[in-house]
Amino acid sequence: MARQKLDKETRKALQDARKLMQEVAKIDGNEAQTRRRVERIFETLMGYHTFKHITREYAIHGVGNTEHCDFAIQLDHGESSKPAMLVELKRVNIDLAQTHLKQAASYAINLGCEWVLLTNGKEWKLYHISFTQPPQTKLIDSWNLIDNDPIILAEKFDLIGYKNVKRGGLAQLWEKSNVLTSQNILKAILSEESIVLIRKRLKKMTYLTVSPEELIGAVRHLLNEAAIAEMEKIKISLPEKQQRKKKTIPKSSKEKEEPTIEPVE
């Protein structure tokens, strides 16, 4: 849930962070200049300790030569501990691309780290790595430090902030993202119970009755191609049509047969 109001400290930290990236973007700063400012944002806005929690040039021992991720977020420094998140950084005025994600994801897969943050200081993209065969990379959230509203930014940076990561908030975020998939949402909307409720609500609003088939068609028109493809995978159970029973008027036991009139000869 987005915050309704920002405290003065958070608002100032956001303003300072935005100003840092605007200034370095204006001079078209290099990667080292961008990194120093991003580290500052991790410290002042997200609550990390520069020396305790941020490891620069984190070594990744893969199949070939040892590579280095820009930095890793580490809350525990035990021998068998892994970083909570890897951060791959690009200089401020470079647009984040698929090749950058592929590079960062390969680091995470080799290391066994579930979370990757890709950023140029302005654009921030948070990804989750699932260690299936083959491993899957999924975009969980993204935001823009320069363009987005401060209340939204505060919520987004809280997601990857020290307090949330320490209490296991990223794991909860991943569980929620699995619930709120397009297929699950469509299943809920297109369930028999939902169709009945929506038809009733539409009738109350418009005084018109639509059939379940008409409602399904209207939902289809609202969707994009990807969502329609998901919709095709879903088994839709339409509510059964209720047939109106004809009213039968029982004969009264007091009813008398009409007398027959015989012809007169």
Tens digit of pLDDT for each residue in 148-199?
999 999 999 999 999 999 999 999 998 888 887 778 888 888 888 999 999 9
CA distances from 227 to 62, 125, 217, 231 (A): 37, 23, 14, 6
Same domain? For 121 and 197 the reply is no
The more confidently predicted of residues 21 and 261 is 21
- 99's enclosing H/E stretch is helix 98-111
Q: Are the C-beta atoms of 70 and 83 separated by less than 8 Å?
A: no
Quick one: what percent of the chain has pLDDT higher than 90? 55
| Confidence band of 245 (pLDDT split at 50, 70, 90) | low
> What's the CATH code of the domain at 104?
3.90.1570.30
The more confidently predicted of residues 181 and 246 is 181
The more confidently predicted of residues 97 and 245 is 97
| Greatest Cα pair distance in the chain | 127
Task: Select from 18, 87, 91 the least CA-distant residue to 55.
Answer: 87
Please give the average per-residue pLDDT across 96-125, as a whole number. 93
Same domain? For 164 and 195 the reply is no
Q: Which of 40-44, 55-59, 220-224 has the highest mean pLDDT?
A: 40-44
Quote the domain boundaries for residue 120. 8-170
Asked whether residue 90 is assigned to any structural domain, the reply reads: yes
Which 3 state secondary structure label does DSSP give 143? strand
Please give the average per-residue pLDDT across 59-82, as a whole number. 81
Least confident of 2-11, 22-31, 39-48, 240-249: 240-249
67: which DSSP letter?
E
Same domain? For 36 and 160 the reply is yes
pLDDT at 6: 85
Pairing of β 123-130 and β 115-119: antiparallel
Please give the average per-residue pLDDT across 29-41, as a whole number. 94
pLDDT at 140: 94
Same domain? For 34 and 154 the reply is yes
Query: Other CB atoms closer than 10 Å to residue 129's CB: what's the count?
Result: 21
Residue with tokens 């998939």: 181
CA–chain centroid gap for 179, Å, is 9
The 3-state secondary structure of 151-220, one letter per residue: HHHHHHHHHCCHHHHHCCHHHHHHHHHHHCCHHHHHHHHCCHHHHHHHHHHHHHHHCCCCCHHHHHHHHH
Same domain? For 196 and 91 the reply is no
Burial class of residue 61 in the structure, from the number of CB atoms within 10 Å of its CB (0-12 exposed, 13-18 middle, 19+ buried): exposed
Same domain? For 124 and 197 the reply is no
Phi, psi at 232, each rounded to 5°: -65, -20
Q: Which of 3-7, 59-63, 118-122, 213-217 has the highest mean pLDDT?
A: 118-122
